[in-house]
């Protein structure tokens, strides 16, 4: 059983890929970054949104109501500005992460030696944005869910050829689980709340290593739905899991 599980996991990992920024339709950015004391301090949020729009991205503040067509969180990138320690030098760099917190893009470090904070942060951020402009972003129309639909069937071919797949369909409303972040993944809890499953991140954002009671397997995204797949008595079990990340 363990051997088959490892084979399945390695097979999934072999399909791992670096998601391009062009596969995301918009960017969400906070009003306050970790090193700031207040919302939009030094107008860095305003400057970030301006530069993102100029670079071709649809950009929205985290507190904005998202327009219709932007409700799928995994079709969005999440923007952040990080400050590095520097003696007499202000250093900032930009990250764009997917919905699981995996870095899709990280900019070069922007630097400024100006002693005025407003000038130093502005100069550093603008310099970091040069890397973003260099991406020449253009939305491809291929979101992460669409990619998953193409990849997932191929992943199941070897198992389906030699094992009977049992699809256990669960009632969506009564069995909805909620994802709570933890180190390297999430714990999925029901409305009690009781921890039902723990999932760990892999290099493929549409797949987690999953542990549910005594069963170990993978939580995988197929056709826009999540499935917990594991081996039991030499048979591949596939259980639909309704989860809200």
pLDDT of residue 17: 40
pLDDT of residue 147: 39
What residue spans in the chain does CATH classification 3.30.160 cover? 21-134
Alpha helices in 38-175 (DSSP H): 44-54, 117-134, 144-162
Residue 38: Cβ within 10 Å count: 8
pLDDT of residue 141: 79
**Cα–Cα separations (whole angstroms), residue 224 to 85, 198, 210, 221:** 41, 20, 18, 6
pLDDT of residue 45: 95
Phi, psi values for residue 18, rounded to 5°: -85, 110
Burial status of residue 112 (CB atoms within 10 A of its CB: 0-12, 13-18, 19 or more): buried
Fold type of domain 21-134: Double Stranded RNA Binding Domain (3.30.160)
Give residues with Cβ within 8 angstroms of 138, minimum separation 6: 22, 56
Judge if the upstream peptide bond of residue 88 is cis by omega within 30 degrees of 0.
no
pLDDT of residue 2: 52
Residue stretches of the chain with pLDDT short of 50: 10-18, 145-173
pLDDT of residue 154: 40
pLDDT of residue 223: 80
């Amino acid at each position: 059983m363990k051997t088959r599980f490892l084979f399945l996991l390695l097979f999934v990992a072999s399909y791992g890929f670096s998601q391009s920024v062009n596969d995301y339709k918009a960017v969400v950015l906070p009003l306050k970054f970790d090193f700031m004391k207040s919302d939009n301090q030094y107008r860095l949020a305003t400057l970030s949104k301006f530069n993102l729009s100029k670079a071709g991205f649809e950009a929205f503040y985290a507190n904005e109501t998202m327009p219709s067509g932007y409700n799928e969180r995994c079709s969005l990138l999440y923007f952040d500005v990080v400050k590095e320690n520097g003696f007499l030098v202000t250093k900032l760099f930009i990250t764009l992460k997917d919905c699981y917190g995996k870095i899709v893009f990280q900019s070069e470090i922007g630097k400024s030696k100006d002693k005025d904070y407003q000038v130093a942060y502005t100069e550093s951020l603008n310099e970091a944005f040069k890397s973003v402009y260099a991406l020449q972003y253009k939305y491809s129309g291929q979101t992460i869910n669409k990619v998953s639909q193409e990849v997932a069937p191929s992943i199941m071919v070897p198992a389906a050829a030699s094992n009977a797949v049992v699809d256990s369909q669960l009632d969506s409303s009564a069995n909805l689980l909620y994802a709570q972040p933890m180190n390297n993944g999430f714990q999925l809890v029901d409305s009690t709340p009781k921890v039902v499953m723990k999932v760990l991140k892999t290099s493929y954002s549409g797949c987690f290593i999953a542990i549910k009671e005594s069963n170990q397997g993978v939580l995988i995204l197929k056709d826009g739905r999540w499935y917990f797949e594991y081996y039991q008595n030499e048979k591949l079990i596939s259980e639909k899991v309704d989860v809200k990340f």
